[in-house]
Structure 1
Amino acid sequence: MKRNRFVNITPSRWKMVLAIPALLLFIHCSHKPVGTSAGNSGTPKENKIDVFSSRYIKRAMEQVTAWQLSHPKHAPTDWTNGAFYAGVVAAYQTTGSRVILDSLMALGQRTSWQPGRRYDHADDIAISQTYIDMYRIKGDRSMITATIDTVQKLRTVPGPETKKGLMWWWCDALFMGPPTIVKLGVSLQDPSYFALSDSLFKQTYDLLYNKEQHLFARDASYLINANGEGKREANGQTVFWSRGNGWVMGGLVRILEELPANYATRSFYEQLYKDMAAKILTLQQEDGLWRASLLDPASYPGGEGSGSGFYCYALAWGINHGLLDAATYSPAVRKAWQGLNTLVSAEGRVGWVQPIGADPRRNFNAESYEVYGAGAFLLAGSEVIKLK
């Protein structure tokens, strides 16, 4: 088996994870979009096993984690791995797997617990969410020292992003940056970090949030001006990218997971989350998944794995924490989880994941994988397993 160059785990330990009974590997892995030559209707076939059982979910999470760790694509501190390792932490918390914990320790040892080099860029501190989680597990302050220094510099030293007039101008940043800062504030028992996160979040919100559609534009290039001019989809609708809004919803629940119940601006995040959840619910397709472009699904047939994974995660979290009505949202979450499992190959690769980009217009297929797609799947599983 190919050794993972990002982690230092012996083959014998990986064998423990990969030796999953054949029955649990029976996952539909040939997801074909509507309109392909295969003639697949796009509606997932009925699963032969109970994808909602705790046993199945835990072993699926172990398998996806192992496969993705064995197929790395980016530098460890890249934003893509920020999302992936958030899922790996969730997999460890769900399964208690020592092998997964070892992989998290190996990440920190490889990076010396350093975030990326751009101190004021949200993407480069996304990996610090994992460092903070490991600090909470291990209690070793050295795991977060560099993150503390980086965020302190962000607060006090104007950098390239600040000089543009708006620190974080793309919606993905709301998954990468604010949850990191809020988690750090909780760990340090310092609410001044919450105020910093509020300020940065609100800047991006004010620029990109559409209060009529309850969705975020990816960045300012997708905004429609006062004359109705701007980029549109083939059906005339505004471009709202599925994964971009998935980043936002995933970020919101990670913020809400941390903020104190009595924090002054918590109600803002809760209301934004509920408004977006209600909109996202209406955009789910029959196969349980969401299309790459939320308002023009016909132009992008076939469910997309990463956006769908983040929505499944965020909606399940809301049910589990009493923010969403279970009777209304549980059917959608169940359909989403069933749909997501049709995207996973027998080896544990989460396919049908749109490649890196800033818009829906990227081709992808069953072999298309990205680390953030695996991360979204793992986060989804960590909440689906808790559903009553």
Structure 2
Amino acid sequence: MQKLLLKITISFLAVLILQSCKTYQKIDKESTKAAMLKALQWQEANPIQSQSPTDWTNAAYYTGIVKAHEATADKTYLDALGKMAKRNNWQVSERFYHADDLAMCYSYIYLKSLGQDANLQPTDQIIKDHLYKDYPWKSGMATDEKKILWWWCDALFMAPPVLTSYAKLKNDDAYLKEMDKYYKQTYNLLYDKKEHLFARDTRYLLTGKDSDLKEKNGKKIFWSRGNGWVIAGLALVLTDLPKDYPTRPFYENLFKEMAGKLKGLQPNDGLWRTSLLSPESFNHGEVSGSGFFTYALAWGINNGLLNKATYRPSVTKAWNSLLKCQKVSGKVGWVQNIGSDPKPADADSWQNFGTGAFLMAGSEILKLKKNQ
């Protein structure tokens, strides 16, 4: 009798687990498309007036629109990109030495690749100035953390994807060689080969000094969105980098190392905390970092770099949790404000780059096959 009850119990539990897994792995593509469109429509109706229309926040948002258009071919996204470009007169920001001010070029290059009547002269000029014009950051400034051109990890989202997409458009590997040089400088300076994460900048490198910043639990500070910038930027770079390019294995290996670490750090509710090694510091999910992670991990599955059986549950859990952060209006909340280190967010905190991360995540979610 006891053996029979045990068998019944085990069978019952197995059914529950199977049902749970089926629910857990379900993604509704039509609901995803609807959520993405609502996010776009809300953001277009609520621009951040205090920020330059060509700054990095808008650039990250429109990069999300680029990816949404690629995934859906919905003209609504293309119209938003076209209106933005005409409104900006195809201009870029003024700081040629600052990676942030290259980021808007990504959308312009995409429009040109579609055969649009795009004026890429400002894009061409800032790229050449950024790579070849002298500036103190290139030789290092002894007074602060600006030791190299891309001295903060966010820069790996802002500039490298622009350079790889432009190299593809122009069929000119010279841009890739420069990208390699500056990317590896940042990697060598900020990448922790033990933790497989990037410090935001040199202030967060623990070198034994009492003045170094660290979490209350004694661990290094690894900012969620900072690492989100990096791994999402890696996916963008790998999308346009030639398959036979000599340094491609470096970028693929870095992508896989970071993906493995991030999967292991994902909380049970699906959303990563703003401080990756100290989730207790702000014990709630955050959308911008989580959105970029979701995009990257889903991209890795879709492009054969990540094992679908291993990573699909993480991606699905994350996307379903991201959807819960969107209000009925389409507004995407739980986005940490502009910053450089872990800080809290709430249901009403939003930024345009958070919407961009949401759209990027959805774009790769739509590409997941049923058998993935």
Q: Report if aligned partners of 1:64, 1:349 keep a CA contact under 8 Å in 2.
A: yes
Q: Which is higher, the Rg of structure 1 or of structure 2?
A: 2
- Structure 2 residue aligned with 1:123, among 79, 100, 109? 100
Q: Displacement, 1:51?
A: 7.1
2:312 and 2:360 mapped to 1: Cα distance?
Answer: 17
Normalised to the residue count of structure 2, the TM-score between the two structures is 0.88
1:166 aligns with 2:148: yes
**Partner residue, 1:384:** 365
List 4+ stretches of structure 1 deviating above 3 A: 48-51, 226-229
Q: Report if aligned partners of 1:108, 1:143 keep a CA contact under 8 Å in 2.
A: no
Q: Displacement, 1:85?
A: 0.3
2:36 and 2:164 mapped to 1: Cα distance?
Answer: 26
1:325 aligns with 2:302: no
SS at match of 1:138: coil
**Partner residue, 1:10:** none
1:374 aligns with 2:355: yes
1:323 and 1:95 mapped to 2: Cα distance?
Answer: 23
**Partner residue, 1:270:** 252
1:99 and 1:311 mapped to 2: Cα distance?
Answer: 25
Name the aligned partner's letter for residue 156 of structure 2.
Answer: L
Per the alignment, do residues 324 and 294 of structure 1 end up closer, same or farther by CA in structure 2, a change over 3 Å counting?
A: same
**Partner residue, 1:96:** 73
- Structure 1 residue aligned with 2:322, among 329, 340, 356? 340
Alignment of 1:345-364 (within 5 A): 345-360=327-342, 362-364=343-345
Name the aligned partner's letter for residue 40 of structure 2.
Answer: T
1:346 and 1:152 mapped to 2: Cα distance?
Answer: 44
1:223 aligns with 2:205: yes
Superposed CA RMSD: 2.0
**Partner residue, 1:37:** none
Q: Displacement, 1:228?
A: 7.7
1:160 and 1:117 mapped to 2: Cα distance?
Answer: 16
Q: Displacement, 1:49?
A: 12
Number of aligned residue pairs: give it.
342
Q: After superposition, what is the alpha-carbon deviation per residue over 1:297-349, rounded to whole angstroms, capped at 9, x for unaligned?
A: 01111100000000000000000000000110000000000110110000111
2:98 and 2:338 mapped to 1: Cα distance?
Answer: 17
2:35 and 2:24 mapped to 1: Cα distance?
Answer: 12
Q: Report if aligned partners of 2:60, 2:103 keep a CA contact under 8 Å in 1.
A: yes
Q: After superposition, what is the alpha-carbon deviation per residue over 1:94-134, rounded to whole angstroms, capped at 9, x for unaligned?
A: 33232321111111111111111011210001011001111
**Partner residue, 1:151:** 127
1:138 and 1:282 mapped to 2: Cα distance?
Answer: 42
1:208 aligns with 2:185: no
Moved more, 95-104 or 299-308: 95-104
Name the aligned partner's letter for residue 105 of structure 1.
Answer: G
Q: Report if aligned partners of 1:132, 1:143 keep a CA contact under 8 Å in 2.
A: no
**Partner residue, 2:47:** 72
Alignment of 1:80-91 (within 5 A): 80-91=57-68
1:234 and 1:81 mapped to 2: Cα distance?
Answer: 34
Q: Displacement, 1:356?
A: 0.3
**Partner residue, 1:132:** 109
Q: Report if aligned partners of 1:249, 1:310 keep a CA contact under 8 Å in 2.
A: yes
2:160 and 2:322 mapped to 1: Cα distance?
Answer: 27
Q: Displacement, 1:153?
A: 1.7
2:306 and 2:210 mapped to 1: Cα distance?
Answer: 34
1:114 and 1:162 mapped to 2: Cα distance?
Answer: 24
Q: Displacement, 1:387?
A: 1.0
1:176 and 1:350 mapped to 2: Cα distance?
Answer: 22
Moved more, 106-115 or 305-314: 106-115
Decide which structure has greater helix share.
2
Per the alignment, do residues 271 and 385 of structure 1 end up closer, same or farther by CA in structure 2, a change over 3 Å counting?
A: same
Moved more, 219-228 or 107-116: 219-228
Q: Displacement, 1:183?
A: 0.7
Name the aligned partner's letter for residue 269 of structure 1.
Answer: Y
**Partner residue, 1:29:** none
Q: Displacement, 1:80?
A: 0.7
Name the aligned partner's letter for residue 41 of structure 2.
Answer: A
Structure 2 unaligned residues grouped into runs of 5+: 1-20, 142-146
| Percent identity (aligned) | 46
